[in-house]
Structure 1
Amino acid sequence: MNKKINSVIAKFLVVCLFLAVQSCKNETKDAKKSTELSTENVAKKVYASDVIPFFDDWKLILGDGSNVGVANNFENKDFFYTVKEGNENWVVFKSPNGGDTHGTSNNTRTELAQMKKWYPKTADDKLTATLKVMNVSATGDARVAASHAVVVGQIHSADKHENEPLKIFYKKFPGHTKGSVFWHYEINTAGDDNSGRWDYSTAVWGNDFSVVGAEENTYPEEPKEGIALGEEFSYEVAVKDGIMTLSFKSEGHETKTFTKNLIESEYTTTADIPEQTQKLFVPLGQDGVEREGAYTGEGCFFKLGAYNQTNGKSPDVNKNWCSGAETHNGDIEKQYADGNYAEVWFKTGSISVSEAAVSNEGYFSKND
């Protein structure tokens, strides 16, 4: 009888031991699987530099005015991150109406600034991008030309007045389905006083900068050939031997190409000031003329991102650039909640930098 009991006990112990060993193995497998899943999740994280691998050429300015430098393997959930839509990854640049700004600007930006500068006369430099604008400010005085607009690409001077031979805009009024894409040339003002500087705007699809509302909350007619929020378009900016060539493409829209001489001005006398400028800028005292050599001898560099053109400053200060929009005293969360921000998604981008380009560190030292 005792032998039977002992045999049963022995078998029971063997079974228990087997189950315990199996349990340990399963726990080890589960732990390994959990580790693998955790590693997989980490590996799946996509940074902007994975989507568009050109960040070695840029420093990133955020919507709080800070310069984070080279943005490889970097994200900031308020201003700069990636999203996946279907099978495509996009880089998001987001900037509120109100907050800390970079340099002397009135406007916030989440924007890349090129780390080298080049000189238009000897340049052979190029910037390309494919993007879509997802939001522009919900508020702003409709009479102010900059309201409801964002700049998505630039050429900026690093020297003297630090003016801008190129700004590429997208602008859409509230209630409209389609917005406008246009580009600006800002004169490089003659003399030491830059207060007389002005922009000349050229329409790509839709209207130019000068088309504004008759009253604070009255909007002009919606552009028939415009671009909707969320609609892709691309631009190419090439500067070679002093000539800037711009190309704009979007499916279902006419491809547009423009050229502008950056080293020989067409605005050297008061008589040269165009009618559009007479309407927009001259009444504000911005009636300067340009240096004969335009941007000759000045280092220039590319910018790309979301440079929000809508701000909270009173239109009484400047009827072209001060929007009087809602900023919630700089509270980013509140601005994002009620649409008072600019958001631009980029899918592709490239930059070609000539061997003649030199360090742009002086610009950052002055403006950071």
Structure 2
Amino acid sequence: MNKKHIALLSLFISFGTFLMLNSCKKSAEKSKEKEEKKIVFANDVIPFFNNWNLILGDGSNVGHANNFQHKDFFYTVNDDKKNWVVFKAPNAGDTHGTSNNTRTELAQVKKWYPATADDKLKATLKVMNVSVTGDARVAASYSVVVGQIHSADGHENEPLKIFYKKFPGHTKGSVFWHYEINTEGDDNSGRWDYSTAVWGHDFSVVGDKENAYPDEPKDGIALGEEFSYEIEVKAGVMKLKFASKWRETKTFTKNLIESEYSTTADIPEQTQKLFVPIGQDGVERKKAYADEGCFFKLGCYNQTNGKSPEVNKNWCSGAETYGGDIQKQYEDGNYAEVWFKTASITVSDTSISNKGYFTKND
């Protein structure tokens, strides 16, 4: 082979190599683009994220969660039938605001006043996990809050918390809701919750020993079982509706602008047994939440934490936290996880910016 032929062959080989490499590069780019297109974001499943800021299980506020995911706290899954939005939070980690508990939760960017409100939140969900450790005598152990109304002003108390709770070894758990009094005066240490059962037990049903559990609720909800809630606040009255395919639909109403707990004599028996013995014996201002801006929350607010029950026998679970190691907590079941299939929000024209709440708590 002469020099001319060798040169031509070399040129041909070089050109062929270039074409092959270029083809591989384009193929890789197309593969990457295809992979990126496969990502299903939360807003593809539930397109309402402009109404919320997302708080993660590390205490951070990421703002609107459009085209956002986080492998540890917030992402989507498909159960072979439907896409779901996953909210996940460990027993311990960095928390938001003054709370002792971690959360991956949406917080409404606007607030509304109960007396003039015409606001609504609806959601369909299933709880996939609650902590497997905790103290059975502590009412908050093994529970997660999946929806709330929160005050943005004053003591920043909560006129509504919707709970799911399941004791270890039980197949079925309980769904119940709380009303927290808007404590009279400047000292909020006397605040307390009143718990109402939806399906199963209420908050006050606890074990008599650290690892001794009460009877399993006959009409409870299992992990992975779908249910829904609707919250409507209009002209000062909160209306609640809870539905599940195999259970009786339950409805409740609560006045948010006229208190039924404004004197010591009004403190209910449940509170006398659960909160008064630990000094939480306050009374509520007569106008309740009438003068305070309120807002919705939705997600996974883990109620099980690692703080000692000696601090507070109702809220401090003494659960396993592995020094805040999130992955270790996830590996051993010490976390809460909630999947949402659908959700919607109606925001009244009288609502205003809730920026002040985030400025105080972020």
TM-score range, shorter chain: over 0.9
**Mapped partners of 1:77, 1:22: distance in 2:** 42
**Mapped partners of 2:73, 2:304: distance in 1:** 16
| Structure 2 counterparts to residues 136-155 of structure 1, below 5 A | 136-155=130-149
**Mapped partners of 1:352, 1:232: distance in 2:** 22
**Mapped partners of 2:15, 2:281: distance in 1:** 87
Which runs of 5 or more structure 2 residues have no equivalent in the other structure? Answer: 1-10
Tell me which amino acid in the other structure corresponds to 2:262: T
**Mapped partners of 2:192, 2:151: distance in 1:** 15
**Mapped partners of 2:131, 2:41: distance in 1:** 26
Which of 220, 228, 242 is 1:248 aligned to? 242
Q: Does 1:110 align with 2:104?
A: yes
Q: Does 1:358 align with 2:352?
A: yes
Q: Give the deviation of 1:83 after TM superposition.
A: 1.0
Q: Give the deviation of 1:23 after TM superposition.
A: 9.9
The residue number in structure 2 matching 1:11 is none
Q: How many residues are treated as equivalent by the alignment? A: 360
The residue number in structure 2 matching 1:191 is 185
The residue number in structure 1 matching 2:6 is none
**Mapped partners of 2:305, 2:12: distance in 1:** 72
The residue number in structure 1 matching 2:270 is 276
**Mapped partners of 1:255, 1:24: distance in 2:** 68
Tell me which amino acid in the other structure corresponds to 1:296: A
TM-score (norm 1): 0.92
Once superposed, what is the RMSD of the aligned Cα atoms? 2.2
**Mapped partners of 1:48, 1:246: distance in 2:** 25
Q: Give the deviation of 1:35 after TM superposition.
A: 4.0
The residue number in structure 2 matching 1:99 is 93
**Mapped partners of 1:34, 1:313: distance in 2:** 50
- Aligned residue for 1:276, secondary structure, equals helix
The residue number in structure 2 matching 1:348 is 342
Q: Give the deviation of 1:92 after TM superposition.
A: 0.8
| Residues 195, 18 of structure 1: alpha-carbon distance in 2 compared, 3 angstrom cutoff | closer
- Aligned residue for 1:69, secondary structure, equals coil
Q: Give the deviation of 1:18 after TM superposition.
A: 12
Which runs of 5 or more structure 1 residues have no equivalent in the other structure? Answer: 1-16
**Mapped partners of 1:24, 1:367: distance in 2:** 57
Which of 150, 153, 162 is 2:156 aligned to? 162
Tell me which amino acid in the other structure corresponds to 2:121: L
**Mapped partners of 1:221, 1:300: distance in 2:** 36
Tell me which amino acid in the other structure corresponds to 1:75: Q
| Structure 2 counterparts to residues 1-368 of structure 1, below 5 A | 34-368=28-362
**Mapped partners of 1:50, 1:191: distance in 2:** 45
Q: Give the deviation of 1:263 after TM superposition.
A: 0.5
Q: Give the deviation of 1:37 after TM superposition.
A: 3.4
- Aligned residue for 1:194, secondary structure, equals coil
Identity of aligned residues (%): 76
- Aligned residue for 2:158, secondary structure, equals coil
Q: Give the deviation of 1:39 after TM superposition.
A: 2.0
Q: Give the deviation of 1:36 after TM superposition.
A: 3.5
The residue number in structure 1 matching 2:7 is none
Q: Give the deviation of 1:209 after TM superposition.
A: 0.2
CA offsets, 1:286-311, max 9 Å, x none? 11111111100100000011100001
TM-score (norm 2): 0.94
- Aligned residue for 1:221, secondary structure, equals coil
